């Protein structure tokens, strides 16, 4: 019977775990809907703004080039790594961490690399063996454009002050609840457009082209970072929902297996008791 009691305790424990994982799945599903709508709505605007900015920047004379488009010799690199503040989301955080480590060891093996962490999980690991200049994990407590823009302004200031020659963002780009794509984007300096289809177009600028670019660049950079954080936020909830769904399914399968073992053990115990009773009765008859 002690064995049966142990199995019952395990079944009860697994049942409690199922309730937790199922509840976490439902919470993440609710948050995912809101986060998905937000990133889906802003992505076309952010992409079009970046495209417009690149096309305008490409038409500027080199002498009038903006400080944010300045191409320098790459010696000091800053990687903005976006992870989450909490775990239980499958390989969401580990994929970003591995990507950052791989980029540092391959592309920038002979460079001076620092990290700005957005997310406690990334900060906890990177702070052990890399130079982490800041931990901006609090941004997820109130995820607004204004709060993310402050981080973008600090990044722009560090680039213009020559603290870094190149700034990149590594994060999970949201595709759907089950799929997140690891993305590496260059934040600064601004890259020229890959295609120059619009370079010969006849535009009339009011005010001047230079003034428009200088006004758009800060706004575009803030929007780019905000889109990356929003993408990561939606990806986090999608990954957590998927992970909790799988955890619930695995717990259900384990519980069913234990119930089968319990029933077999219980039947065996009952059969032994019956045999003992029958054996005792036959001994009395003899």
Whether 193 and 220 have beta carbons less than 8 Å apart is answered as no
- Alpha-carbon span 143 to 124, nearest angstrom: 21
Sign of CA dihedral 116, 113, 94, 184: positive
φ/ψ of residue 201, rounded to 5: -70, 150
C-alpha radius of gyration, the chain, whole number: 29
CB atoms within 10 A of CB 37: 11
pLDDT means per 10 residues, the chain with 286 residues, are 80 92 92 91 87 70 63 93 93 95 93 95 93 94 94 94 95 91 92 59 68 82 94 95 94 93 87 82 73
Q: Has 89 been annotated as catalytic?
A: yes
Domain boundaries, the chain: 21-243
Active-site position among 81, 89, 217, 243 = 89
pLDDT tens digits, residue range 103-137? 999 999 999 999 999 999 999 999 999 999 999 99
pLDDT score, position 61: 55
Identify the CATH homologous superfamily for domain 21-243.
ATP synthase, F1 complex, gamma subunit (3.40.1380.10)
pLDDT score, position 186: 93
Whether 160 and 67 have beta carbons less than 8 Å apart is answered as yes
CB atoms within 10 A of CB 142: 8
């Amino acid at each position: 019977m002690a064995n049966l009691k142990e199995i019952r305790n395990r079944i009860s424990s697994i049942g409690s775990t199922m309730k937790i994982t199922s509840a976490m799945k439902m919470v993440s599903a609710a948050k995912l809907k809101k986060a998905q709508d937000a990133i889906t709505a802003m992505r076309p605007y952010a992409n079009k703004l970046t495209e417009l900015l690149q096309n305008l920047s490409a038409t500027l004379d080199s002498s009038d080039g903006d400080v944010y488009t300045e191409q320098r010799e790459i010696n000091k690199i800053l990687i903005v790594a976006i992870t989450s503040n909490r775990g239980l989301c499958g390989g969401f955080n580990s994929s970003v961490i591995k990507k950052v480590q791989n980029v540092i060891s391959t592309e920038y093996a002979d460079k001076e690399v620092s990290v700005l962490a957005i997310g406690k999980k990334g900060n906890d690991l990177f702070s052990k063996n890399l130079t982490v200049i800041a931990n901006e994990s609090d941004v997820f407590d109130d995820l607004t454009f204004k709060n993310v823009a402050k981080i973008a302004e600090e990044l722009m200031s560090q680039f213009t002050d020559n603290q870094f020659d190149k700034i990149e963002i590594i994060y999970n780009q949201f595709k759907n609840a089950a799929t997140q794509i690891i993305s590496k984007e260059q934040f600064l300096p601004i890259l020229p457009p890959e295609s120059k289809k619009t370079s010969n177009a006849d535009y009339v600028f009011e005010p001047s082209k230079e003034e428009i670019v200088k006004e758009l660049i800060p706004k575009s950079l803030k929007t780019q970072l905000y889109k990356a954080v929003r993408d990561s936020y939606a990806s986090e909830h999608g990954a957590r929902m998927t992970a909790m769904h799988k955890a619930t399914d695995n717990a259900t399968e384990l519980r069913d297996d234990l119930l089968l073992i319990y029933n077999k053990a219980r039947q065996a115990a009952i059969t032994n008791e019956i045999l003992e009773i029958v054996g005792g009765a036959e001994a009395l008859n003899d």
